Structure 1
């Protein structure tokens, strides 16, 4: 795969965890010669379900340097609220998610915010297992955080770059992996792993 593929993190929110710690929320934009893929869509609105997390939003629509119309496909690593809240910004464009994840988001109580999952105009392309989305860009199931979590593996010609969503929430979970998804990431021997809630890629 050519090294002309780039991954750009975009900070779209922060959430309060614990008494005084704020967790950043990032989505990731893959620029590929054959298209632009957005991995997760973050948050665009407040909701009573997570008001106690004191969300501070910088939604994708506020990023003047991000041309939403140029994005050709969206990937949801999973469908928790802080990963799918901007799906409605892309009506009619394919949103790739593991079928098991979509089923759980639509049927399990207290899993996510369902009206965000199935917002008007949102069109999912359910995936069963691995899928090559563009040459050198693969979706790979990575269970652990949720049953239907997936990662995006970007081949670079050497060691791959991985966009992990919440397969690991902090670096320690990759330093000492315990879930199937975390062990999968380590088995790929990646040069970089981008997490949804970390400013820099692992390994730091």
Structure 2
């Protein structure tokens, strides 16, 4: 299985907000987890921000959907930004459910604890309106302190759902456009993930709550997500074409 890892730049009213900060550079990932890939680290983030004429110093707020290593590394790139995370997530990172110990890295915890409050760290308890048009929904599921960022745009409310449902197939498991293995038994329901801190019923309720509070969902690890919102806006992909999660990577050509 292979997944892209996305971070989101949210801009409006003069603010530059980063939703998640991605993973460490690949040599470190390979040493710790014995997996391969491309990108990541400071260089990847700097390059992506530069495409928008920004540097890390231009980011005023960082919102962490949760603190797993692939979503919350690189915080040292943003020493002056205000990091916003659920208090419950920080506590979960310090004392996680046993199956998630590998996903929380001490460097992330140390970075947050060392930040000065409230200018460099805001701990949120439950749902929270961060700014006009940017709402945080507390949805314990994948982790105890999981939160989804709802961004109001000119076309509607976009839910950056992170790992609550990290591929379209989790949100639309009976739709052949979302998955090449549609499951009719899941019509009107959701496919929940294997990495979880809460029950499947809690996760189902969390996903329903997100749909009730948004107009589209944008998964964290699907190859087919829109890259620019609201310029690109779709509730579901046209087909499974481009869904490369289970397609073996091709060796580099000579």
Normalising by structure 1, we get a TM-score of 0.80
- In the alignment, the residues of structure 1 paired with residue 145 and residue 36 of structure 2 have an alpha-carbon distance, to the nearest angstrom, of 27
- In the alignment, the residues of structure 2 paired with residue 62 and residue 158 of structure 1 have an alpha-carbon distance, to the nearest angstrom, of 28
Aligned partner of 1:49 in structure 2 is 32
Matched, 1:127 2:121: no
1:183 to 186, 203, 208: 208
Aligned partner of 2:51 in structure 1 is 65
1:160 to 157, 160, 176: 157
1:110, distance to aligned residue in structure 2 (A): 2.8
| Structure with the largest fraction of strand | 1
Aligned partner of 1:196 in structure 2 is 220
- In the alignment, the residues of structure 2 paired with residue 144 and residue 135 of structure 1 have an alpha-carbon distance, to the nearest angstrom, of 26
Q: What is the root-mean-square deviation in Å for CA atoms of aligned residues?
A: 2.1
- In the alignment, the residues of structure 2 paired with residue 126 and residue 93 of structure 1 have an alpha-carbon distance, to the nearest angstrom, of 14
| Structure with the largest fraction of helix | 2
2:4 to 20, 24, 28: 24
Instruction: Select between 26-35 and 118-127 the one with higher mean Cα deviation.
Output: 118-127
1:193, distance to aligned residue in structure 2 (A): 1.7
Aligned partner of 1:140 in structure 2 is 137
Structure 1: tracts of 5 or more residues without a match: 1-16
- In the alignment, the residues of structure 2 paired with residue 104 and residue 111 of structure 1 have an alpha-carbon distance, to the nearest angstrom, of 11
Aligned partner of 1:12 in structure 2 is none
1:157, distance to aligned residue in structure 2 (A): 5.8
User: Are the equivalent residues in 2 in contact too, given 1:151–1:164 (CA < 8 A)?
Assistant: yes
Structure 2: tracts of 5 or more residues without a match: 173-188, 193-202, 227-234, 238-254
Q: Considering only CA atoms, is the larger Rg found in Structure 1 or Structure 2?
A: 2
Normalising by structure 2, we get a TM-score of 0.65
